[in-house]
Amino acid sequence: MKVLKIRLLALSLCAALMLCSCADSASEKQDSSSQPQSESVTSQTTSSVTASSTTSVSTTASTTTSTTTTTTPTSTTPPTVTAPVPPSADRTNPTVIYGGSTTYHALGTPFDLNKYVSYGDDTDRHPRLTYTGKVDTDKQGDYPIKATVTDSSGNSTSWDITVKVVSSLPSSPSEPIPSMTFEEFTSKYKSANTRVGIDVSQWQGEIDFNAVKNAGCSFVFIRVGTKFSGFTLDPYFKKNLDGALAAGLDVGVYLYTTDLTEASARESAKWVVSQLGGKKLTLPVAFDWEELDSFQSFGASFADLNAAYIAFKNELAQNGCSAMIYGSDFTLGKLWSDPVKNTSPIWLAQYTDKPTYKGDFGVWQVCYGRIAGIGGNTDFNVLYTDKKYK
């Protein structure tokens, strides 16, 4: 998947430098040895995200940007939402998701800071991005600016950015993600209160689930599909679901979605149930939301995201299924509210030897590697039997 992984298009060097987990996202997964790991048509990593990074974007026309500027994000498909939450009690500063502390910009092209940063707010759907400083896009050099995001309650977050105007944009470096065999993974992470498993999608191709189980895997999360403007069924979902159940594995599924309204999320839950075709899951349906490249372009707040998930969860419950949240250390800490996290199982995506996320989680996506029964790489997960995992 996932949060937290290498995205399809290198929209920014920021995303590449911040890559330290699959996820990526989030990201929708693909064979890590040969394919970028995301369903998104944009570029981003979704785990271990910081507000300080390096970005690179090229545009087409020539311009000079002057000292004080307000920028407006472009929204391609803004969600239909209810009235905004009244800001009177809001004391929370906006969140910078990707900050671009060093930003490379192509010489002779117009500068739009919204293309280099991503931000959002807990209740304000349209926080305002401004910056002070001058960027002369017709002259190579380093231009320091100060960016500020302000919500409708007057709360603000500011940070420094150095815009490097260059004649040639640097290539996006890649950082290695830890990899091991499933045997090594099992030896390291299986214990009296843990189980080891995998998650899969079309990018793993044909899977021999009997061989997977014989390798020591006890559970699997299977991608049911994606939802952008509409639903796309994972072409291997039906076969993967049947194979995993027949092999006796515990099974959950996940939907990579962009839902930000309650109505849309309920629609997604109904669609997932319909794809299950009456088959019973022993693990939850994961709500996999990783579209962080330009959160401001959705015209939504973090409150909208949380409300959408609750609607998704409630609709599933009416159909005999449970739900869980999939996210990175950063997204779980910044985008998801405590009341929502405290009442749902959490699937943490963090590619580190030891998780740094301070909240509760029942499943941990640790790394990727090779397991018998799958021709390429797949994600490895730890399930904690003494924590909330379903």
Residue 351 has pLDDT above 70, yes or no: yes
Residue 82 has pLDDT above 80, yes or no: no
Q: Percentage of the chain surpassing pLDDT 70?
A: 77
Q: CA-to-CA distance for 305 and 60, rounded, in angstroms? A: 34
Cβ atoms of 117 and 96 within 8 Å: the answer is yes
Nearest-10 Cα torsion for 241, 247, 251, 253: -20
Give the burial class of 353: count Cβ atoms within 10 A of its Cβ; 0-12 exposed, 13-18 middle, 19 or more buried.
exposed
pLDDT at position 308:
98
Residue 318 has pLDDT above 50, yes or no: yes
What burial letters (b/e) apply to 44-64, b meaning 16+ CB within 10 Å? bbbbbbebbbbbbbeeeeeee
pLDDT in tens, 231-246: 999 999 999 999 999 9
Tell me the pLDDT of the chain averaged across its residues: 84
- SS3 of residue 13 by DSSP: helix
Q: What is the DSSP string of 121-176?
A: -SS-SSPEEEEES-B-TTS-EEEEEEEEEE-TTS-EEEEEEEEEEESSPPP-----
pLDDT in tens, 36-57: 233 332 222 233 333 333 333 3
pLDDT in tens, 54-81: 333 333 333 444 456 777 776 544 444 4
Give the residue, 240 or 4, on which the prediction is more confident: 240
Query: Could you tell me the residue ranges of all domains in the chain?
Result: 13-166, 179-384
Average pLDDT for 188-203: 97
Cα–Cα distance list, 184 to 13, 180, 188, 249, 372 (Å) = 33, 6, 6, 20, 13
Kindly state the tokens that stand for 18.
């911040």
pLDDT in tens, 142-177: 999 999 999 999 999 999 999 999 999 998 766 566
Q: How many CA atoms lie within 13 A of 193 on its CB side?
A: 6
pLDDT at position 87:
52
CA max distance for the chain: 64
Q: CA-to-CA distance for 112 and 101, rounded, in angstroms? A: 15
Cβ atoms of 37 and 25 within 8 Å: the answer is yes
Give the global pTM: 0.82
Residue 90 has pLDDT above 60, yes or no: yes
pLDDT in tens, 264-308: 999 999 999 999 999 999 999 999 999 999 999 999 999 999 999
Partners of 221 in beta bridges: 199, 252
CATH 3.20.20.10 fits 179-384, yes or no: no
Residue 88 has pLDDT above 80, yes or no: no
Per-residue confidence band for 3, with pLDDT thresholds at 50, 70 and 90: very low
pLDDT in tens, 104-131: 999 999 999 999 999 999 999 999 999 9
pLDDT at position 58:
33
Per-residue confidence band for 29, with pLDDT thresholds at 50, 70 and 90: very low
pLDDT at position 100:
86
Can you list the alpha helix ranges (DSSP code H) found in the chain? 13-18, 182-189, 209-214, 237-246, 262-276, 302-318, 329-334, 338-342
Q: Which CATH superfamily is domain 13-166 in?
A: Immunoglobulins (2.60.40.10)
